[in-house]
Amino acid sequence: MSGSAIRPGAGQAYGTILVLLAATSVVPGVGMVTGPLVGLASLLLGVQLTLGRTVPWMPAWLRTRMASSNLGPRFSRWIQDRCRPLLHLAPPRFPGVLAGLTVAWSSLLLILPLAFIPFSNTIPSLSVGLVGAGLLAQRSLLGWLGLALAGGYTVVLAFLGEALFLAAQALIRHLT
């Protein structure tokens, strides 16, 4: 699974976990509390995905709990039912390494304490969720949408950072 596309079925374990994690922090306000924990967990998953692990590492107690439930197949069917209008679209394959890097970057953005920026946890969570849904439903389009959302948010943060830096410089010049 190195740099090539994720094999069919290999991303379902990642997808299920990523979508469930993202769902806990995508709601504005709630994400301020859960964001750092969800960001750390999804960062670890993103790194594993980037490194090419076909099955995510989890603590033994969590692995047995996940294996004993039928949440994965039920959730996969639910996602596929919701994504049915997009199923006829066939974008280029979404590489596994790119999925992992997108999840890892969005997770880092999710961990950042950016409480003064509206939707600062919602957008990275949504990006993680889209990539996870793409892995789960085996639909490249959702992964590409997650990547585009993460990239767009990064550009917005860069412009905002530059604006804050220039404002701070102007204030310092004015005060001295």
Q: What pLDDT shows up at residue 63?
A: 65
Cβ neighbourhood burial of 24 (10 Å; 0-12, 13-18, 19+): middle
What is the number of other CB atoms lying within 10 angstroms of the CB of residue 124?
33
The pLDDT confidence band at residue 166, using thresholds 50, 70 and 90, is very high
Q: Which of 15-19, 126-130, 136-140, 142-146 has the lowest mean pLDDT?
A: 136-140
The residues pairing with 5 across neighbouring beta strands, listed in sequence order, are 95
Tell me what the mean pLDDT of segment 165-172 comes to. 93
Cβ neighbourhood burial of 119 (10 Å; 0-12, 13-18, 19+): middle
The residues pairing with 95 across neighbouring beta strands, listed in sequence order, are 5
Q: pLDDT tens digits, residue range 12-40?
A: 778 878 888 888 887 777 767 777 888 88
Q: What pLDDT shows up at residue 66?
A: 61
- For 145-150, the CB contacts below 8 A with 24+ separation are 146/102, 146/106, 147/94, 147/98, 147/102, 149/123, 150/102, 150/105, 150/106, 150/109, 150/124
Q: pLDDT tens digits, residue range 141-156?
A: 888 888 999 999 999 9
Question: What secondary structure does DSSP assign to 21-80, as a single string?
Answer: HHHHH-STTHHHHHHHHHHHHHHHHHHHHHTT-SS----HHHHHHHHHS-HHHHHHHHHH
Q: What pLDDT shows up at residue 86?
A: 60
pLDDT higher at 71 or 140: 140
- Give the integer Cα–Cα distance in Å for 103 and 18: 9
